[in-house]
Structure 1
Amino acid sequence: MKALVKEKAEPGLWLVDVPEPEIGPGDVLIKVLRTGICGTDLHIRSWDGWARQTIRTPLVAGHEFVGEVVETGRAVTDIQAGDLVSGEGHLVCGKCRNCLAGRRHLCRATVGLGVGRDGAFAEYVALPATNVWVHRVPVDLDVAAIFDPFGNAVHTALSFPLVGEDVLITGAGPIGLMAAAVARHAGARHVVITDVSADRLELARKIGVSLALDVRESTVADGQRTLGLREGFDIGLEMSGSPVAMRDMIANMTHGGRIAMLGLPAEEFAVDWSRIVTSMITIKGVYGREMFETWYAMTVLLEGGLDLAPVITGRHGYRDHEAAFADAVSGTGGKVILDWTA
């Protein structure tokens, strides 16, 4: 089969022939239809410091996908050939304290699809049945392909109650944009998003945010004044990993404000801990999705009319992967999809 492989310890991904994956008794073999390109895939392709420390070559990359089940192991009873599925990309041990307590998203032995084992940038991918999400209701294939990052957005956005709250989102990348859509859909009063990309801020306006701020030209405090907020933001969703963005968020939260932080900083940085303490601000780190509570929430949100179409801005056949990655790395658009049937 064809697959995008990190063959060598150097920049690049290579489209090559590899053997089809084999499945065990509890596994599912899936024919991949669409995949999404993630920031993690960009790190692997560029072979940056994180990738050099994390990835063992050769490796089939990719973890955001939708596909059709073609074969199931003999122990699999609730998934059938022909089912349309996406996959939870965090494979857990099932034996640690958190796994046994039903908190699988906190497993210390998590292995990432397309990071610690061969992934979904291929014509076929194998997964344990326990990591397979069957789409029981109709869903657009492009949207189904990005359930993984959509789950990050939902997990972050729904970390705290949103109804009637004023929400600040720092970072209008694809996950930040999806979080903005979720916050609006979930009943937030105002949703403000910040970035330095005019194109991404325009996407945010299409999603329906209250205010899209280019922080090169306006401050978060300016945004507060524009909306008539007297005491600051109730909820913060930090999606950028930027030290400046995090400090601005803390400075503009109301007393008792709550921050969910998904953006991963490249290095340690200082924040105003006195402000955090005296304003009694809660900061919660978020990683991945709650398995599978977040997946249920994603499906219900889409059934309820949440529209993610504006977030998907690039579509390419898998043989045109170089153009697709160039599109994704530009930092000006939303999600980029690879079609494995083209």
Structure 2
Amino acid sequence: QIMGHEFAGEVVEVGSNVERLKVGDYISCETHIPCNQCVPCLSGQRHLCSNLKIVGVDINGSFAEYVSIPEEVAWKNDKSIPPEIASIQEPLGNAIYATTVTDITGRSVVIFGDGPIGLFSTAVARLSGASKIILVGLIDFRLEMAKSLGADLVLNAKKEKVVECIMDLTGGTGADVVIEMAGANEAIKNGLEVVRKGGVFVAFGIPPSSVTIDYNNQIIFKGITIYGINGREMYRTWLKTSSWLKEGKLKISSVITHKFKLEDFEKGFRLMLHPENSAKIVLFP
């Protein structure tokens, strides 16, 4: 099984039943391959397909010079989008879907998680008109990057009392919108603590184990709205993503800290073990 699900490339061959693509097209790939027959698919929620297959998991992925994908999940790119940016539209789409699932214009937003998707969300939140953006993370290098992407304030969870700081900064009210992208149990608990009454909690990060929450006081009595985010909306999110990139509105190239040849993939994997000096790493065949 070949891994890899975030990529862009040029079409070099098409099957006999392919109608929309031709050799030479510049494409990226939607990771989720839907069945188009189940209730979510038929309800316009193909990203939640009950029989979902995933590129790089269920079929061979993109850590290779060539990859074969169904026509349905190929997304045509504008030639103006650099290949390293085109290759990360899949995770960028995660960030765009999660950050814009509710209207954040003029609202305070707290993002938990300083991984690439949390950093992307910071840029998206700034572009989308959030009034105040706070990013909570663990790595100073990435927290500084978040400032350049639009965060008004960053908090290092290893050094700061996160809940106290956020409640102070919001006048004791809490944040209008919390976007949880760390997938850490503590971050989830803190996020539910700092979202204001009647606010919105966006759940994207996947915790390693079960999380115990105060269901009554943190959800019911606070009257919050929770959105669970899986993948990207097909293809509403892609339309928004490509439009922002094509028009130069969304500037996220700084999140790509390293580029390597495909044969040097081990260097990239080693760097991932040291996130204090890296964020997104792109391989070129």
Report the TM-score when normalising by structure 1.
0.79
Return the offset for 1:121: 0.7
d(CA) in 1 for partners of 2:80 and 2:182? Answer: 32
Return the offset for 1:77: 2.2
d(CA) in 1 for partners of 2:132 and 2:190? Answer: 18
Q: Counterpart of 2:35 in 1: which secondary structure?
A: coil
d(CA) in 1 for partners of 2:40 and 2:48? Answer: 6
d(CA) in 1 for partners of 2:250 and 2:173? Answer: 30
- Structure 1: stretches of 5+ with no match in the other structure: 1-58
Q: Find the counterpart in structure 1 of residue 160 from structure 2.
A: 218
Asked whether the 8 Å contact 2:167–2:174 carries over to 1, the reply is no
Q: 1:225 to 1:90 in 2, by over 3 A?
A: closer
Matched, 1:162 2:107: no
Q: 1:244 to 1:225 in 2, by over 3 A?
A: closer
d(CA) in 2 for partners of 1:223 and 1:164? Answer: 20
Asked whether the 8 Å contact 1:314–1:337 carries over to 2, the reply is yes
Q: Counterpart of 1:93 in 2: which secondary structure?
A: coil
1:306 corresponds to which of 242, 250, 256:
250
Q: Counterpart of 1:314 in 2: which secondary structure?
A: strand
d(CA) in 2 for partners of 1:331 and 1:263? Answer: 17
Q: Find the counterpart in structure 2 of residue 51 from structure 1.
A: none
d(CA) in 2 for partners of 1:213 and 1:178? Answer: 17
Q: Find the counterpart in structure 2 of residue 105 from structure 1.
A: 47
Asked whether the 8 Å contact 1:220–1:252 carries over to 2, the reply is no
- Structure 2: stretches of 5+ with no match in the other structure: none
d(CA) in 2 for partners of 1:301 and 1:188? Answer: 17
Asked whether the 8 Å contact 2:38–2:49 carries over to 1, the reply is yes
Asked whether the 8 Å contact 2:184–2:205 carries over to 1, the reply is yes
2:178 corresponds to which of 217, 236, 253:
236
Deviations along 1:51-98, one digit per CA (max 9) or x if unpaired, are xxxxxxxx0110100100111122222212111100011111111122
Identity in percent: 35
Q: Which AA in structure 2 matches 1:317?
A: K
Matched pairs, number: 282
Deviations along 1:123-153, one digit per CA (max 9) or x if unpaired, are 1111111100001351011111111111111
2:259 corresponds to which of 315, 329, 332:
315
Q: Counterpart of 2:238 in 1: which secondary structure?
A: helix
Asked whether the 8 Å contact 1:241–1:264 carries over to 2, the reply is yes
Matches within 5 A, 1:14-53: none
Q: Counterpart of 1:202 in 2: which secondary structure?
A: helix
Deviates more, 1:219-228 or 1:193-202: 219-228
Q: Find the counterpart in structure 2 of residue 65 from structure 1.
A: 7
Matched, 1:84 2:34: no
d(CA) in 1 for partners of 2:31 and 2:17? Answer: 21
d(CA) in 2 for partners of 1:184 and 1:262? Answer: 19
Report the TM-score when normalising by structure 2.
0.95
d(CA) in 2 for partners of 1:244 and 1:61? Answer: 30
